[in-house]
Structure 1
Amino acid sequence: MQPTSNWLIMAISVAGAILGVELARRVLSRVGRKYALARHLVEHCTWATFAMAAVLACNIVFGPWMMGDTRQERALGESIDRVVGLLTIATVTWVIIGVTYALTDVILDRLVLVEGERNRRARRIMTQIALVRRIAAATIIVVALGAMLFSFPQVRALGAGLLASAGIAGAVVGIAAQPTIGNMLAGLQLAFSDALRLDDVVVVEEEWGRIEELTLTYVVLRLWDERRLVLPVSYFTQNPFENWTRHGSRVLAVVYLRVDWSVPVDELREELYAFIQESPLWDQKDWTLQVTDVLPNGLVELRGLMSAADSASAWDLKCDVREHLVKFVRENHPDALPRFRVETPESRAGVPWTSGRRVAATGTPGAAGRDDPGDA
């Protein structure tokens, strides 16, 4: 058989394999409208399967008859055969990782829909699955790289020497990679100790945000203004941080008002309750309005407290309540707006104001000074 015909047969085999994968992809795409697994297999494995089909077709068709008759042709054929073998290992590994992610995505899709009291446990499982599949993918890649290396006879010959020096090499690598290994262990500790989960609301370095991504080496915090704060995993095991959703997603919203002593607290309390009853952000559980302090500047501090289902709702509820109470005080009790009192010698002596003029102790208008511009 002529070499040109041989290469033509290989090209036809590759094209046929790719066509078969494309047909399977179309079938899975239709089935994926009803079944999540089929949809995720198409999402994660399409390109990997195309590559594997093409390489496997080459590997199956490529035979001794492709080697040629001369020494140069046989050497070229052996090189091509080795490259095809390496590509086979790589593409099969790619497909295995894609299938792993597709299977776990089916579970994650169901966990995302969990709400209410079971949401915290669902997010914990999501975090653990995300980390475990990353570890599985890294392990599969390492095994695949080892298989590629041991496909070379020279590497297999060095195997005994490498195993003999594994203890020394392991110690050297362990010392050099101590920060990386520490981060990986910290990531596993966070995931399985339930200290941090995906979508947890945390405050780190005085920044409020949600855990968007949790890997073995770093954590991505999505801040309230859509910025991203990237921190090493070891930060959360060595530094304190606030976790607002550690035991549940409910959050208490707090509003402070600093007003004058003349504010009608009971009326303001009733207005707060009437307002939050009509708000869909309130979870119908906790609320209160109390006088919590008298400030050194002479103002009275009121604290309104309302509960919400999650931190996002609590923030919006807090802003709505603050805006409503400020409007209510301004329109109905302007005398209760914040004001600062200044004490003068005349006010300490009990001298009253009359028609805009200060009345001295003798009763003569203007005797204490010309305070009215009309006296000038």
Structure 2
Amino acid sequence: MPPASSDLLVSVAVVVAVSVAIGAVVPFAVRRLGRRWPPAEALVRAARFPFRVLVLVVGLNAVVAANRPRGDGAELWDTLALALRILGIINGAWLLAVVMLFAVDAALRRADAGLDPRNAKRVRTQVQVTRRVVVVAIVFLALGAILLSFPGVRAVGASLLASAGLVSVVAALAAQSTLGNLFAGLQLAFSDAIRIDDTVIVDEEYGTIEEITLSYVVVKTWDDRRVVLPCTYFTTTPFENWTRKDTEMIGTVLLQLDWRTDLSGLRAEFERLLDSTPLYNGRSSGMVVTDATQGLVTVRASVTADDPGLLWDLQCLVREGLVTWVREHDPEALPRQRWEIVPGRHDGQPTGRADHAA
């Protein structure tokens, strides 16, 4: 075996051994230093493999740089050096993404553990958008670094700098919609206009915010459909957010009854229904007559619940209970239509008057 080949193999063996040692010592040291910080173990598990590969690639790149000949016959070495450089960029981006996403997830865990539900939803929304921004930024940086590793691409890039003004204008016009959605997504994430799990009314559709990306928002409707809207919709179109400040809501139940309704008994039944269900949070309730026209009275019962879902269930429960009570205990309150039959005009014989109930 030629001496040069022997030296090369020895160098490679030494680099591999050192890389394995570093890949074992550094995670162990991080565990020891972070033994009082529980997330340290999770960080080591997530970053261990990309870190070891990166150390090995850096070592092999140093071996190639030290043994690569100059002049003719170096094409194979140049190709190997380029491949190692690209592999190092990929592994560096991988390791950076793992560390950055770990930090973002740690913030999300703290938000879920130590904040009230409203602030936790806000932080969860911002963290999800931040994760996507971090991944996209790292991918673009890695692709740019890889492309700049090729001499031909560097030459093309230098020639394009001369017309950068024109290119930027054309690119801005072509990507106007995409960039608008991108900035709208960032604005939604950090302006606290909507958050994950917020209850909203968009295009007369009732639903909850299921996902917020850099370009669109997914709204899950009450019947499990998904309405996908561009982020610019929420920055340019009015919409209702029922849970922006807090999740507690007030709802009403309307009944149209006869004037002979026993309001005292109806109100007592209403209070009994609220006392018998955990859906009612006890914050506010009341029953009043809001209108009395066309032979009917309109009774409005107002209730409160901790969130829109519970409020809907409570409204249905109260409505069903009051309807059942009126039918079984106060049938005189059932709606009636009254009319009067006037005397006949053709035969001159009066028909009298009658009071009909229907």
Asked if TM exceeds 0.5, the reply is yes
Is the contact made by 2:338 and 2:355 (CA closer than 8 Å) also made in structure 1?
Answer: no
Q: TM-score when scaled to structure 1? A: 0.76
Is the contact made by 1:184 and 1:216 (CA closer than 8 Å) also made in structure 2?
Answer: yes
Mapping of residues 45-56 of structure 1, within 5 Å: 45=46, 49-51=48-50, 53-54=52-53, 56=55
Listed as ranges, the gaps of 5+ residues in structure 1 are 354-376
Residue number in structure 1 paired with 2:353:
350
1:57 maps to amino acid:
L
From 158, 161, 173, the equivalent of 2:159 is 161
Q: Relative to structure 1, is the Cα distance of residues 95 and 319 closer, same or farther in structure 2, using a 3 angstrom cutoff?
A: farther
1:310 paired with 2:313, answer no
2:164 maps to amino acid:
A
1:98 paired with 2:98, answer yes
Residue number in structure 1 paired with 2:319:
322
Q: Relative to structure 1, is the Cα distance of residues 39 and 295 closer, same or farther in structure 2, using a 3 angstrom cutoff?
A: farther
Residue number in structure 2 paired with 1:176:
174
Return the offset for 1:114. 5.3
Is the contact made by 1:128 and 1:191 (CA closer than 8 Å) also made in structure 2?
Answer: yes
Deviations 1:258-289 (A, max 9, x none): 22222212221222122213322222111111
Is the contact made by 1:260 and 1:336 (CA closer than 8 Å) also made in structure 2?
Answer: yes
From 258, 261, 265, the equivalent of 2:259 is 261
Is the contact made by 2:199 and 2:206 (CA closer than 8 Å) also made in structure 1?
Answer: yes
Mapping of residues 290-305 of structure 1, within 5 Å: 290-294=288-292, 296=294, 298-305=295-302
Is the contact made by 1:40 and 1:106 (CA closer than 8 Å) also made in structure 2?
Answer: no
Deviations 1:102-156 (A, max 9, x none): 11212212222456xx433343333333333433332222222221122122233
Is the contact made by 1:41 and 1:98 (CA closer than 8 Å) also made in structure 2?
Answer: no
Q: Relative to structure 1, is the Cα distance of residues 76 and 331 closer, same or farther in structure 2, using a 3 angstrom cutoff?
A: farther
Q: What SS class does the counterpart of residue 234 from structure 1 fall into?
A: helix
Q: TM-score when scaled to structure 2? A: 0.79
Structure 2 distance, partners of 1:248, 1:69, is: 70
Q: What SS class does the counterpart of residue 223 from structure 2 fall into?
A: coil
Deviations 1:180-230 (A, max 9, x none): 111122223323332222222111011111112222211111222222211
Structure 2 distance, partners of 1:226, 1:39, is: 35
Q: What SS class does the counterpart of residue 282 from structure 2 fall into?
A: strand
Residue number in structure 1 paired with 2:81:
81
Listed as ranges, the gaps of 5+ residues in structure 2 are 344-349
Return the offset for 1:99. 1.7
Structure 2 distance, partners of 1:269, 1:37, is: 60
Structure 2 distance, partners of 1:332, 1:206, is: 38
Deviations 1:148-173 (A, max 9, x none): 12212223334432322222111110
Q: Number of paired residues?
A: 342
Structure 2 distance, partners of 1:82, 1:342, is: 96
1:215 paired with 2:213, answer yes
Return the offset for 1:55. 5.6
Q: Relative to structure 1, is the Cα distance of residues 352 and 246 closer, same or farther in structure 2, using a 3 angstrom cutoff?
A: closer
Structure 2 distance, partners of 1:304, 1:338, is: 18
Which has the higher mean CA deviation after the structures are superposed, 340-349 or 254-263?
Answer: 340-349
Q: What SS class does the counterpart of residue 335 from structure 2 fall into?
A: coil
Q: Relative to structure 1, is the Cα distance of residues 207 and 348 closer, same or farther in structure 2, using a 3 angstrom cutoff?
A: farther
Mapping of residues 1-376 of structure 1, within 5 Å: 13=16, 35-36=38-39, 38-39=41-42, 42=45, 45=46, 49-51=48-50, 53-54=52-53, 56-61=55-60, 63-64=63-64, 74-113=74-113, 118-294=116-292, 296=294, 298-341=295-338, 343-345=340-342, 349-351=352-354
Q: Relative to structure 1, is the Cα distance of residues 113 and 207 closer, same or farther in structure 2, using a 3 angstrom cutoff?
A: farther
Structure 2 distance, partners of 1:103, 1:348, is: 88
Q: Relative to structure 1, is the Cα distance of residues 288 and 216 closer, same or farther in structure 2, using a 3 angstrom cutoff?
A: same
Q: Relative to structure 1, is the Cα distance of residues 294 and 17 closer, same or farther in structure 2, using a 3 angstrom cutoff?
A: farther
Structure 1 distance, partners of 2:136, 2:70, is: 42
Which has the higher mean CA deviation after the structures are superposed, 255-264 or 55-64?
Answer: 55-64
User: Which runs of structure 1 show a deviation greater than 6 angstroms over 4 or more consecutive aligned residues?
Assistant: 2-5, 65-72
Q: Relative to structure 1, is the Cα distance of residues 336 and 153 closer, same or farther in structure 2, using a 3 angstrom cutoff?
A: same
Alignment RMSD, CA only? 3.9
Q: What SS class does the counterpart of residue 103 from structure 1 fall into?
A: helix
Structure 1 distance, partners of 2:190, 2:118, is: 14
Structure 1 distance, partners of 2:80, 2:185, is: 42
Is the contact made by 1:37 and 1:102 (CA closer than 8 Å) also made in structure 2?
Answer: no
Return the offset for 1:235. 0.4
Q: Relative to structure 1, is the Cα distance of residues 262 and 84 closer, same or farther in structure 2, using a 3 angstrom cutoff?
A: farther
1:256 maps to amino acid:
L
Structure 1 distance, partners of 2:351, 2:212, is: 65
Structure 2 distance, partners of 1:317, 1:202, is: 19
Q: Relative to structure 1, is the Cα distance of residues 343 and 58 closer, same or farther in structure 2, using a 3 angstrom cutoff?
A: same
